[in-house]
Amino acid sequence: MRLYTLPKTGAISDLTLTERDTPRPARGQVLVRMRAASLNYRDLMIVTGRYGRGGVAPDRVPLSDGAGEVVELGEGVTRFDVGDRVAGIFMQNWLGGEVNDSHPGSALGGAVDGVLSEYVLFDQQGLVALPEHLSYEEGATLPCAAVTAWNALYAGKSPLKAGDSVLLLGTGGVSMFGLQFARAAGAHAIQTSSSDDKLARVRELGADDTINYRQTPEWQDEVQRLTDGRGVDYVVEVGGAGTLPRSIDSARLGGQVNLIGVLTGGEINPTAIMRKSVLMRGIFVGSREMFEQMNRAITQHKIKPVIDRTFAFDDARAAFEHLESQQHLGKVVITLD
């Protein structure tokens, strides 16, 4: 089988196409013929050597998000049959409940090998069934970005409800899923971007209000204006420390800021958090239980993930370069057919 590995990290050019024997499933394992994989900003950080203090082990197979077809079962497998359409969960042993210290060690494409391979072995517990109305390419976008957005809006102490307001930063995968989930709930969605073309697109997809943050650098003031001075109930914060102060100022008193991204640097001043009684939630994807709950909602509302562009397996480096360019809206996908 063909697969990509990272003999070392530091540049997209380090991504190496190689071959290995196709594995056979042991007891409780499932062999999946991968049909598509999608990229997250985390994957770019891993490939370019900017993820975590220790990086990843040499020859790691990258990417956490992929979908495919079950082609072989190990002894004792009861959750799936040959021919089932499946996706792997981001942390292979986070099945439900709260995250604990053991879960990050099972994260695909980082702590353990990922899915940029023609065949991948999974424990049967580390898979979910794909919604029937989605293609493999669409299903491959779900494990990280979609589950992260679902966790931010629905898995906290106060799940999103009709009439709430949501601020979504940017037009990457998490924010686009956040928009779709907000619309499904009947919430008011405000979205930011530096591109008027992208803002026009998100309005077509259901955003109620949009803000060009380059034209409006103090965009938190515009958020307050759009909410009649109240602020939003939820912020999907993908920028990091550099945008967090404005996100906090955009939230209502007692609102919720879900901290997801690390795109911008800076320091976090806790004073504004305390002054506004904001609930800060650090979001690290989510569990299989969340994934399955989300899939039921995706099926009910016939949500279709937003795919910016699809690349062939042999063009995986170009897919990373496109993600790095920040020209995308939604997800960047690699097909393995």
Q: How far is CA 209 from CA 222, 263, 282, 299, 324, in A?
A: 10, 23, 26, 26, 27
CATH superfamily of domain region 2-143+305-335:
Medium-chain alcohol dehydrogenases, catalytic domain (3.90.180.10)
CATH architecture assignment, domain 147-282? 3-Layer(aba) Sandwich (3.40)
- If one compares 306 and 274, the residue with the highest pLDDT of the two is 306
Strand partners, 129: 86
Q: If DSSP states are collapsed to H, E and C, what string results for 62-91?
A: CCCEEEEEEEEECCCCCCCCCCCEEEECCE
**% of the chain beyond a pLDDT of 70:** 98
Mean pLDDT of the chain: 95
Q: Is the pTM of this model over 0.85?
A: yes
Cα–Cα distance measured from residue 234 to residue 159, given in angstroms and rounded to the nearest whole number? 10
Q: How high is the pLDDT of residue 266?
A: 61
Name the burial class of residue 160, with classes exposed (0-12), middle (13-18) and buried (19+) by CB atoms within 10 angstroms of its CB. Answer: buried
Query: For residue 155, which amino acid is it?
Result: A
**Whether pLDDT at 240 is above 90:** no
Say how far apart CA 137 and CA 300 lie, in whole Å: 19
pLDDT of residue 241: 77
pLDDT of residue 264: 53
- What's the average model confidence in pLDDT over 256-285? 83
pLDDT of 182 higher than 60: yes
Residue with tokens 């695909």: 108
pLDDT for residue 274 is more than 90: no
| pLDDT grade for 270, boundaries at 50, 70 and 90 | confident
Q: Give DSSP secondary structure letters for 173-236.
A: HHHHHHHHHHHHHT-EEEEEES-HHHHHHHHHTT-SEEEETTT-SSHHHHHHHHTTTS-EEEEE
Give the CA distances from residue 226 to residues 18, 123, 182, 251, in Å, rounded to whole numbers and listed in that order.
52, 48, 17, 12
**Where exactly are the structural domains of the chain?**
2-143+305-335, 147-282
Q: Tell me which residue has tokens 């001043």.
A: 269
CA dihedral 198, 203, 208, 209 (to 10 degrees): 30
Confidence label for 125 from pLDDT (cuts 50, 70 and 90): very high
C-beta separation of 106 from 32 below 8 A: no
Locus of tokens 């650090």: 282
At 181, the pLDDT band (50, 70, 90 cuts) reads: very high
Per-residue pLDDT of 229-238, as tens digits, reads 999 999 999 9
Cα 58 from Cα 45, distance rounded (Å): 15
Q: Does the pLDDT value for residue 102 go beyond 70?
A: yes
pLDDT of residue 138: 98
Q: Is the pLDDT of residue 93 over 60?
A: yes
What is the mean pLDDT of the segment spanning 315-332? 96
> What are the two backbone dihedrals, phi and then psi, of residue 86, each rounded to the nearest 5 degrees?
-140, 165
Give yes or no for residue 247 having a pLDDT over 70: yes
Are the beta carbons of 238 and 261 closer than 8 angstroms? yes
Helices in 108-195 by DSSP H: which ranges? 136-139, 147-154, 173-185
At residue 262, does pLDDT exceed 70? Answer: no
Model pLDDT, residue 263: 54
d(CA 22, CA 8): 23
pLDDT digits (tens, 9 = 90+) for 140-178: 999 999 999 999 999 988 999 999 999 999 999 999 999
Cα gap 264→195, rounded to integer Å: 18
- Each residue of 42-88: pLDDT tens digit? 999 999 999 876 789 999 999 999 999 999 999 999 999 999 999 99
For β-strands 279-282 and 251-259, DSSP reports them as parallel
